[in-house]
Structure 1
Amino acid sequence: MGRFRLCMLLVVFLMVVVVSGVSGQVGSGRSEMVPAMFVFGDSLIDNGNNNNLPSFAKANYFPYGIDFNGGPTGRFSNGYTMVDEIAELLGLPLLPAYSEASGEQLLHGVNYASAAAGILDITGRNFVGRIPFNQQIRNFQSTLDQITDNLGADDVARAIGRCIFFIGMGSNDYLNNYLMPNYPTRNQYNGQQFADFLVQQYTQQLTRLYNLGARKFVIAGIGQMGCIPSMLAQSPTGTCSEPVNLLIQPFNANVKTMINNLSANLPGSRFTYVDIAHMFSDIATNARSYGFTVVNRGCCGIGRNRGQITCLPFQTPCPNREQYVFWDAFHPTEKVNIIMARKAFSGDQSFISPMNIQQLANLAIEIN
């Protein structure tokens, strides 16, 4: 089935949703490599799903979005997130948040990511409202059910199977679960046991997405969390926490093994792994060559390394944001997000393997 036919399928769905006539001309004339992209994750790629939740994990206020066209949207960045740049590289428009998506916005995919969310439902409860990965999958299923009701399962399966599914989960299961003193998790599991438990759940969740029609998966690993300003602020010497960096290594190793196993066991699936930890290490090691001069504190925040209290409403951020690796206590700047996105899109296997997103998008897959 050609790309034009796939787009027309989504146009038909769009006509049903908005109950009005819609032109067959969609998009802005850019060459679209895939029909759509669906995004699942946490605050690193959330673009507004927490805005209307009773949650402490929100970023819909200035100076978040200070460099974003339109201002604060719920993105935990001064501008673009990693998936914003990937969408544009794929020829897609910026994806709408699930909480706000309607009408023509649905045409090229949806972002289901939620700040404070984790693989485990219990993760992030300190922030009250959030949308765990299990619920994000249910939200995708709700979107899919609407399409299927109007188009039929076979046509939808062919369309969805050619879309990109970007998943970045796990950071909060450590930051806002395992490492939190009010959680019992550390007393129940050692580091390896917890990584095993997480990836066991993760495997089941990704298999559910496969059973819903996903075939092209981009799985992002966890970055070097021991080096974020929040962790640096807790260090007497202001240096990276090696125990925290070591803690997440078994998870990333397990995810790579999981991807190999799923690729072998799920017919027609293609998985690729984004090595976020290596990307960050490369940027930190070669900071000046990338144009960065500040790698150890946030552009917006309070206290040591501007990481003890994260960016507050109407706080004045640093003026030279292009020179900062970190935007706030936990999240990278737009510039870092764009660098990482481009490495994931067209980089070599030291950053993303076994193929980059551009190669995955161009890959023909037989949908059974």
Structure 2
Amino acid sequence: MSFLFFALLILASPSTFTDARCDFPAIFNFGDSNSDTGGFWAAFPAQKLPFGMTYFGKPAGRASDGRAAIDFIAQGLGLPFLSPYLQSIGSNFTHGANFATAASTVLLPMTSLFVSGLSPFSLAIQLNQMKEFRSRVLEFSPQGNYYLPPKDIFSKSLYIFDIGQNDFTGRLADIGIPGVKKYLPQVVSTISWTIKEIYNELGGRTFMVFNLAPVGCFPAFLTELPHNTSDLDMYGCMISYNNAVLDYNKMLKDTLSQTRDQLPDATLVYVDTHSVKLELFQHPKDHGFVYGTRACCGEGGGEYNFNPLVFCGNSKEINGKNISTSTCDDPQNYVSWDGIHATEAANKIVAFGILNGSLFDPPFPLSKYCDLHPIG
């Protein structure tokens, strides 16, 4: 049993928690499909089963069979699931808001969703939504029943950034690693600028920024991106693409270190979720999984069970034949849900790593600020 898994088992034990409320009264999240809790599907309603099958029993706006890592983080901090900012019915923003939408990028997309597949809700738009949210809180809270937080919440809240994957992967197949690397410094600088803006304009003081996952291990990219067998490591992941992710992550870490020096009374944490996800892909059986680089929901079977022409939950006529995806009966045995996103089981392990503080640089003991709640 690996040390990481042993640590996660300890964290999962209810005896290590209390029932006290966390000192963070709210979370404001900026991100893409990895942390979207329904924003994209509020704007473009269409999600259907099998998404949400494991926990919610119905589609719930997550790109998974169940909960996303942000759901577990909120639960661990004693907060409810984050309502999507774009969801007009049923939302409660008392404890924060989620501005993430699937297919979002850090940089402003140059084409529409229907051409490129990228969301119009880039990080700049999400920041503008955050500013508008604050204006509304200052205007209306605590008057009326608007499900809004108190006016002084913004300096006390936790701000999370889980975004950048689509900037990295969106054009990989077209322009390759060298082409993508040309604009990655702008991605990093935009994240840094956004943090400073929240610090200066909104009063935010506590920030967590997730790095990028090892995309060279994703079933979708193993199927779609050009490579040869010599580029595969002993775990079946693409070496060149994973090395490019490491280069980006180092750039992000270095930039955040510089940003931290410019914000003396802020806590700015670089969160190495990459290491946990890589561990799950490389050693799935050590963490209770059976399949690493094979999708639970997909089409085509084989090593990856991913067909770029028909995504999870969909059907399509190809060469006169109707092709439909199928879904495994045991998503808890898979790291990858649909070839691009993680299963609930994998998301839970990532969240454990975040809540126990083992992924933070610099070290940031959440237990100093919060009495963590069990997640299950």
Superposed CA RMSD: 2.7
* Gap change, CA 1:358 and 1:59, over 3 Å in 2: farther
Residue 351 (structure 2) aligned to one of 332, 341, 348: 341
Q: Which runs of 5+ in 2 are unaligned?
A: 1-18, 143-148, 315-323, 372-376
1:162-311 equivalent positions in 2, closer than 5 A: 162-177=156-171, 179-181=172-174, 190=179, 192-211=181-200, 212-234=202-224, 237=229, 239-303=236-300, 304=302, 305-309=304-308, 310-311=311-312
CA apart distance, 1:250: 2.1
Q: Once the two structures are superposed, what CA deviation does each residue of 1:16-71 show, in whole Å capped at 9, x if it has no partner?
A: xxxxxxxxxxxxx86233110011100011111111435xxx77210000012251
Give secondary structure in 2 for the equivalent of 1:347. Answer: coil
TM-score, normalization: structure 1? 0.80
Give secondary structure in 2 for the equivalent of 1:107. Answer: coil
Structure 2 distance, partners of 1:151, 1:59, is: 33
Structure 1 distance, partners of 2:295, 2:365, is: 29
Residue 110 (structure 1) aligned to one of 65, 82, 97: 97
Aligned match of 1:67: 54
CA apart distance, 1:340: 0.4
Whether 2:90 is the aligned partner of 1:91: answer no
1:14-25 equivalent positions in 2, closer than 5 A: none
* Gap change, CA 1:208 and 1:165, over 3 Å in 2: same
Q: Once the two structures are superposed, what CA deviation does each residue of 1:340-360 show, in whole Å capped at 9, x if it has no partner?
A: 001101132xx2222346257
Structure 1 distance, partners of 2:297, 2:307, is: 11
Aligned match of 1:7: none
CA apart distance, 1:330: 0.2
Structure with the higher fraction of residues in helix conformation? 1
Alignment-mate amino acid for residue 296 of structure 1: T
Q: Is the 8 A contact 1:123 1:173 kept in 2?
A: no
Structure 1 distance, partners of 2:62, 2:167, is: 20
* Gap change, CA 1:231 and 1:244, over 3 Å in 2: same
* Gap change, CA 1:280 and 1:199, over 3 Å in 2: same
Alignment-mate amino acid for residue 153 of structure 2: A
Structure scoring higher RCO (CA < 8 A, sep ≥ 6) equals 2
CA apart distance, 1:156: 6.8
CA apart distance, 1:333: 0.5
Give secondary structure in 2 for the equivalent of 1:160. Answer: coil
Q: Is the 8 A contact 1:120 1:132 kept in 2?
A: yes
Q: Is the 8 A contact 2:84 2:99 kept in 1?
A: yes
Structure 2 distance, partners of 1:30, 1:71, is: 31
CA apart distance, 1:160: 1.2
Q: Which runs of 5+ in 1 are unaligned?
A: 1-28, 364-368
Alignment-mate amino acid for residue 208 of structure 2: V
Q: Is the 8 A contact 1:346 1:356 kept in 2?
A: no
Whether 2:89 is the aligned partner of 1:81: answer no
Q: Is the 8 A contact 2:137 2:151 kept in 1?
A: no
The sequence identity of aligned pairs, in percent, is 25
Structure 2 distance, partners of 1:167, 1:36, is: 14
Alignment-mate amino acid for residue 197 of structure 1: Q
Give secondary structure in 1 for the equivalent of 2:255. Answer: helix
Give secondary structure in 1 for the equivalent of 2:352. Answer: helix
Structure 2 distance, partners of 1:138, 1:308, is: 36
Structure 1 distance, partners of 2:46, 2:254, is: 34
Give secondary structure in 2 for the equivalent of 1:50. Answer: helix
